Amino acid sequence: PLGPSSPNLAAPPPYSPSFNGVSAAAAKRAPPPPPPLKPKPQPNVQYVVALYDFAAQADGDLDFQTGDRIEVVERTSSAEDWWTGRLNGRTGVFPVEWRAELSYLVSYVYVALDSTQFLFVLSSDVSLASAIVHTACQECATTDLERLLPRLVPNKLRTNSAGSRYSANAWSEASCCLKGLHRGLKSHEVLRDSGLPSPDPSVPGSAPPDGVPLVPPPWDLDAELYLFLDRTIPHSTPSPDSPSVNDDSSILQGLPAGAYNPLEEIHPSALVPIPGVDNRKQYRGNWPQIIVVRYEDSPAGPYDELMYIGGKFENPVEGKGVEAARITNIYVSTNASVWNGRRNWNIPKHLARFEWTPRSGDPYTTTLKVYHHDGVPPPLSADEPFFVATLTRSRLPAVPANTARIPFASRSLRLVQPPLFRGRYPDNGEGPGAAVIGTDDPPHGRTNPWLSITPTYNGWFGLAYIESMKGDGALTDLGDGRSFPRCNPVWVGQRFKGVIHFPASEVVGEASDSEKRK
């Protein structure tokens, strides 16, 4: 064998460590790698989205169609001017401010951080955002922009920061904000799908009152709901000296006194006999329902609700044999719910004040008192409650369910509502009647027919209990028999906790509505 001194074997080189196949010495002699290139900053490019089609009317105009995304090349400080924009390689001017003859405004603005990601302009300068938001409808005014931003994006993302500074949560919030504002600021597009016309600035009274946003359907509401079946009280028939014109037997037609709000003018089509049948009343009986709801969140904001469903009714459009529930009396705690509920679904909502008092030492029980709102016209009074009840949720476990997946549930949940007249309030546009609009009201741009709605419930269903309040001065029954029926409900009922989906209404008698009931 060859030894270490063999002349045919070269001596091994001295040991040298290596990294990834490169010796330390070679690595030491190699020049350092160049520093990483900084990414080229992305320019903040403003875009606007067209709400309507616009045909060029002069040389230099930029024509566009609904939904086109226009790059803003130059804007002026005045919202009454035209801006310069670029679309599909063409550059021209386009209208920004709403005018009677030009309805081509923009619905939202966002900043392009790269070719695929967009962030809504949440500038601290609200005037900048509002200057480019259309003002054709009152729901798109600056005040509503300021209202929507804090609710949808609590941390108020800014556009004057680099995109890389935003976390995944921030991007998620920005996405939610974009969707929410897109829905809010383009509400008339949704209304077009629901068959309801947008408020027309040229028609007085078609837009909601100050401080009330236009909130088109569909609605998803986070709710805690209590439902109890009512039993007939013999002494709930109308009293001859009742101050409510709606307590007349020709209007009640078998319903108890208080089934209609005293200030609601009942539409004649809700009282006519069923066609083809002699003197067949629309009211067909069945168990009345008392429903109390606390909406923790909704597109119209949180609010409380008390309603009375008198039972099953037929209607003059579909005729004999087609029965559905009908809300005849309902109170809510906000004007936003009043105005939009009446407009979207013909639900006869009125404003009321809700007072909740938890029972000391019992987190499961609370007492509810409902009052007319301040400013209600006499002889009604806001000083005494017209409904008082103690509600208790059961300690037994609830069960999950989604009514959209339960066969035939839609048939029992379907509501059919007649058109509405304006309430019997002073015609001054103020007080609790400001939002009590009519939906059969052509002078104010509203011509609703009979509408059908089938809500769905997805959440947890459990038991609940109800009783009248004990003590001096308390109502003998749950209602006063004038503003709400005197009720003697079954003491055990149902509690629901989850999401209620209220879709866009359908015109009663149309094919889509008939197919839905099958």
Q: Out of 3.40.50.2000, 3.40.50.720, 2.40.400.10, 2.60.120.10, which CATH number does the structure's domain 219-517 have?
A: 2.40.400.10
The pTM for the full model equals: 0.64
Which residue ranges in the chain fall short of pLDDT 50?
1-6, 42, 77-80, 97-193, 235, 511-518
Q: Do 45 and 116 contact (CB within 8 A), yes or no?
A: no
| CATH 2.30.30.40 segments of the chain | 45-194
What pLDDT sits at residue 329? 97
What pLDDT sits at residue 428? 66
What pLDDT sits at residue 296? 95
Tokens of 57: 């009317």
Radius of gyration of the chain (CA): 32
Between CA 14 and CA 22, with CA 20 as vertex, the angle to 5 degrees is: 45
**Interior/surface letters 154-166, b for 16+ CB within 10 angstroms, e for the rest:** eeebebeeebeeb
Q: Are strands 492-502 and 106-112 parallel, antiparallel or unpaired?
A: unpaired
Q: Are strands 349-359 and 362-372 parallel, antiparallel or unpaired?
A: antiparallel
The phi, psi pair for 468, rounded to 5°, reads -75, 155
CATH code of domain 45-194 = 2.30.30.40
Q: Whose structure tokens read 């597109």?
A: 299
**Residue 466, CA distances (Å) to 80, 364, 495 in order:** 58, 12, 11
| CATH 2.40.400.10 segments of the chain | 219-517
CA–chain centroid gap for 490, Å, is 32
Q: Which is it for the CA torsion 506, 508, 514, 516, positive or negative?
A: positive
List, in order, residues 6 or more apart from 63 with CB less than 8 Å away.
54, 55, 56, 92
Tokens of 233: 């009280």
What is the side-by-side strand order in the sheet with 106-112? 90-95, 82-87, 69-74, 45-50, 106-112, 118-120
pLDDT in tens, 343-364: 999 999 999 999 999 999 999 9
H/E run at residue 281: none
What pLDDT sits at residue 450? 95
Above pLDDT 70, what percent of the chain? 64
List, in order, residues 6 or more apart from 41 with CB less than 8 Å away.
162
What pLDDT sits at residue 464? 97
Picking from 72, 68, 107, the residue whose alpha carbon sits closest to that of residue 88 is 68
H/E run at residue 336: helix 335-345
Picking from 246, 412, 418, the residue whose alpha carbon sits closest to that of residue 316 is 418
pLDDT in tens, 303-347: 999 999 999 999 999 999 899 999 999 999 999 999 999 999 999
What pLDDT sits at residue 418? 95
First to last CA, the chain: 99
Tokens of 381: 């009074």
Tallying the residues shown for the chain, one arrives at: 518
DSSP state of 131: H
What pLDDT sits at residue 13? 57
